[in-house]
């Protein structure tokens, strides 16, 4: 079944509008709709369609491999969906410019192609790709995920366009249009409701099943027994400006409630951050221009991520994401962006834009009070000014504790935190950060627990800092002198200890990671700048090759619509059946058949009349042969055709004799 005029062109324009590939879409629309204006068609054989189909398959598989290698996430599937109309264009173009109205199903599926090589009497099954391609254009446009009402409006308009010509003429067009408008409204508000329900459920679950950092809750290894093993895989890269200090702490989230060796963020509701007019610049807080800038290159896993930001971050540039939200604890989350983000962060370390401290930032868990009180009394922290408290706490951990990834069982009557402070005095960064928060709170200084990464390893190969999974770190945010500031009490030896555990093959892994990063950077840079400008390097030779092959094929003059209609009637299977003479004779006798009435029911109705003027004894056998001649793919044999002809002739002669 063919689509209404210019529907395919309109659907391609709609696809190009949603994906940003409208110049390419316009050319594709001209290619397809131009078949209605060109009077020539090509006599393509089934093997030609097989070759075009194989070409489309190779392009599709190649694009999938390319996208998956450069972006190992579900986003690769969405990007591939957006390019489906282009990859399948040669196949549909071959159909519309050929003398056939359909493509044999064997061209699309190898299993049918193998079967078609076997000798058989069945006629090849053909299908038209027009409406299938129309649906693919709509699906690909939806993969762009523009999230505006205009997508739904375009979907409704194109659906009306497609279905209007296929509607039943028995019903009023006004009724049909009214029902379609009703369905459109129900569908729109239904999808709005589903989107709202999804948002609520995501907030309720607090990201329990997300592997990325959780802005609401931080699980620690406090109290675990054994040895912590962290990967040396490179997660992201940092290129600092000349004014930046090293090492540097980049935060993902912070928390204010400690309970059972876990940290939680209380009242951490996210608020939307609106972009600047360019769509890629985001001001987290009003501020003047600052000198300190870093450039972060990180992957956007599963379409969403928490940004790695230094304290005092005020502006983010060159970040083309669809959505950004932040909370009062400094967590900034983005959604729907490129697989590789390379964004610029402007910040002022002496400033802080987190929410002001409150009573929660001074709360202490009752189970930890005995050990905390003992240390506070030992260091005489209660009567000292904030700066002196920070100095004494830092010296306490530096002089009396050591960093270790080997966790012991601890005392039977002590909590893991009390065991760390009083007995073992050995642990990893989560112990140091959690203990420091509790000590500062006991001294009357608001403090929070922060998680993120420590930037400390410079790569000569890449001429930038690389941050590995083992550089994940926890530290303290302390509120002194009217602002939140980073405060890290983990011994400096921690980075060297973890570096010593690196594999001897790490340099080789780093080289591979660097190549993968450069490839991914090129891939996403070209996508942002417009991958379509390079697609011509592939399309132009491909179009010339196909055009040359088509020109060498047999060209036929395309018939006029009325000629095409007559030709179709002539080749219609069973159109010359003698039964139509029976139908005409019965109609002349006053037994007209209703347009919707099957022939078998019509004959039964005539029999119920008990008319003596019509003999129906042989009509059932005649009708059985007619049905086989008309609808059976195998048709009927020549003797059966002769039987049909003779039985119809005898019936007609019998009717004349009765008359």
DSSP 223-281: T--EE------EEEEEEE-TT--SSEEEEEEEE-EEETTEEE-TT---EE-PBPTTSS-
Q: What's the pLDDT at 208?
A: 45
Section 423-449 average pLDDT: 93
pLDDT mean across residues, the chain: 80
The pairs formed by 182-191 with CB atoms below 8 angstroms and a separation of 24 or more are 184/156, 187/152, 188/149, 188/152, 191/152
b/e 183-209 (16+ beta carbons within 10 angstroms → b)? ebeeeeeeeeeeeeeeeeeeeeeebee
CATH for 359-455+471-518 (2.60.40.10, 3.30.2320.30, 3.40.50.720, 3.10.620.30): 3.10.620.30
> Any idea what DSSP says for residue 554?
P
Residue 475 in this model has a pLDDT that exceeds 60: yes
**Dihedral sign computed on CA atoms, order 473, 476, 481, 483:** positive
Q: What's the pLDDT at 570?
A: 40
Residue 491 in this model has a pLDDT that exceeds 80: yes
pLDDT in tens, 335-378: 877 777 888 999 887 777 888 999 999 999 999 999 999 999 99
* Distance, CA of 641 to CA of 647 (rounded, Å): 10
**Model confidence at 571, in pLDDT bands (50, 70, 90)?**
very low
Max CA separation in the chain (angstroms): 129
Which of 260, 620, 241 is CA-nearest to residue 415?
260
pLDDT in tens, 38-52: 777 787 788 888 888
From residue 151, give the alpha-carbon distance in Å to each of 66, 157, 165, 197: 28, 10, 22, 20
Which of 654, 636, 637, 648 is CA-nearest to residue 579?
648
Residue 396 in this model has a pLDDT that exceeds 60: yes
* Distance, CA of 403 to CA of 398 (rounded, Å): 10
How many alpha carbons fall within 13 Å on the CB side of residue 351? 16
**Model confidence at 414, in pLDDT bands (50, 70, 90)?**
confident
- Show Cβ contacts of residue 154 under 8 Å, excluding neighbours closer than 6 positions: 14, 17, 18, 141
**Dihedral sign computed on CA atoms, order 539, 541, 544, 549:** negative
* Distance, CA of 525 to CA of 503 (rounded, Å): 32
- Show Cβ contacts of residue 42 under 8 Å, excluding neighbours closer than 6 positions: 97, 98, 99, 550, 553, 554, 555, 556
> Any idea what DSSP says for residue 423?
I
* Distance, CA of 649 to CA of 642 (rounded, Å): 11
Query: How many CB atoms are located within 10 Å of the residue 630 CB?
Result: 16
pLDDT in tens, 456-473: 888 888 888 999 888 889
- Note the pTM of the prediction, 2 decimals: 0.53
Please give the radius of gyration of the chain, using alpha carbons only, rounded to the nearest integer. 37
**Model confidence at 127, in pLDDT bands (50, 70, 90)?**
confident
**Model confidence at 529, in pLDDT bands (50, 70, 90)?**
very low
At 327 the three-state DSSP class reads coil
Beta strand pairing status for 103-104 and 257-259? unpaired
Query: How many CB atoms are located within 10 Å of the residue 290 CB?
Result: 16
Burial class of residue 332 in the structure, from the number of CB atoms within 10 Å of its CB (0-12 exposed, 13-18 middle, 19+ buried): buried
**Model confidence at 107, in pLDDT bands (50, 70, 90)?**
confident
* Distance, CA of 324 to CA of 300 (rounded, Å): 13
Q: What's the pLDDT at 392?
A: 94
**Model confidence at 445, in pLDDT bands (50, 70, 90)?**
very high
């Amino acid at each position: 079944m063919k689509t209404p005029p210019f529907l395919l062109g309109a659907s391609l324009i709609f696809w190009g509008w949603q994906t940003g590939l409208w110049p390419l879409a316009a050319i594709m629309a001209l290619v397809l709709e131009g078949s209605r204006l060109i009077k020539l068609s090509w006599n393509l054989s089934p093997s030609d369609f097989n070759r075009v189909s194989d070409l489309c398959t190779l392009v599709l598989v190649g694009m999938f491999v390319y996208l998956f290698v450069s972006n190992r996430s579900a986003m690769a599937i969405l990007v591939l969906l957006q390019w489906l109309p282009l990859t399948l264009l040669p196949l549909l173009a071959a159909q519309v410019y050929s003398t056939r109205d359909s493509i044999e199903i064997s061209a699309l599926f190898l299993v049918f192609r193998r079967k078609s090589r076997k000798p058989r009497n069945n006629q090849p099954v053909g299908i038209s790709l027009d409406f299938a391609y129309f649906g693919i254009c709509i699906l690909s446009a939806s993969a762009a995920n523009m999230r505006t009402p205009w997508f739904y409006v375009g979907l409704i308009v194109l659906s009306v366009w497609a279905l209007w010509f296929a509607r039943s003429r028995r019903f009023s067009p006004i009724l049909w249009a009214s029902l379609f408008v009703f369905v459109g409204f129900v569908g729109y508000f239904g999808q709005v409701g589903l989107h709202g329900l999804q948002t609520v459920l995501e907030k309720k679950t607090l990201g329990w099943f997300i592997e990325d950092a959780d802005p609401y809750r931080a699980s620690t290894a406090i109290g675990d027994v054994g040895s912590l093993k962290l990967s040396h895989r490179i997660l992201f890269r940092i290129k600092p400006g000349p004014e930046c200090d090293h090492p540097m702490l980049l935060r993902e989230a912070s928390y204010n409630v400690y309970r059972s060796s876990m940290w939680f963020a209380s009242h951490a509701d996210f608020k939307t951050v609106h972009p600047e007019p360019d769509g890629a610049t985001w001001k987290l807080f009003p501020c003047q221009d600052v000198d300190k800038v870093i450039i972060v290159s990180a992957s956007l896993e599963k379409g969403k991520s928490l940004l790695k930001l230094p304290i005092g971050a005020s502006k983010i540039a060159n970040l083309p994401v669809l959505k950004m939200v932040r909370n009062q604890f400094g967590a900034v989350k983005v959604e729907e962006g490129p697989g590789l983000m390379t964004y610029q962060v402007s910040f002022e370390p002496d400033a802080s834009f987190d929410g002001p401290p409150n009573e929660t930032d001074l709360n202490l868990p009752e189970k930890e009070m005995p050990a905390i009180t003992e240390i506070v009394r030992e260091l005489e922290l209660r009567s000292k000014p904030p700066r002196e408290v920070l100095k004494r706490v830092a010296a306490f951990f530096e002089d009396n504790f050591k960093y270790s990834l080997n966790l012991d069982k601890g005392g039977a009557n002590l909590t893991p935190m009390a065991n760390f402070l009083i007995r073992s005095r050995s642990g990893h960064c989560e112990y140091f950060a959690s203990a420091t928060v509790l000590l500062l709170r006991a001294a009357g200084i608001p403090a929070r627990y922060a998680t993120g990464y420590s930037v400390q390893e410079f790569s000569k190969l890449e001429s930038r800092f690389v941050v590995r999974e083992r550089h994940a770190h926890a530290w303290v945010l302390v509120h002194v002198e009217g602002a939140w500031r980073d405060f890290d009490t983990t011994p400096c030896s921690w980075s060297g200890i973890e570096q010593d555990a690196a594999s001897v093959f790490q340099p080789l892994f780093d080289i591979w990671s660097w190549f993968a990063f450069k490839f991914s950077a090129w891939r996403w840079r070209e996508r942002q700048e417009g991958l379509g400008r390079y697609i011509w390097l592939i399309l132009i030779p491909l179009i010339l090759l196909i055009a040359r092959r088509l020109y060498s094929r047999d060209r036929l003059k395309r018939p006029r619509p009325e000629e095409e209609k007559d030709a179709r009637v002539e080749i219609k299977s069973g159109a010359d059946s003698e039964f139509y003479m029976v139908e005409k004779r019965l109609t002349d006798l006053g037994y007209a058949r209703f347009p919707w009435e099957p022939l078998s029911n019509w004959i039964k109705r005539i029999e119920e009349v008990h008319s003596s003027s019509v003999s129906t004894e042989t009509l059932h056998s005649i009708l059985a042969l007619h049905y086989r001649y008309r609808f059976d793919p195998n048709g009927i044999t020549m003797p059966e055709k002769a039987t049909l002809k003779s039985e119809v002739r005898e019936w007609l002669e019998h009717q004349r004799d009765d008359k």
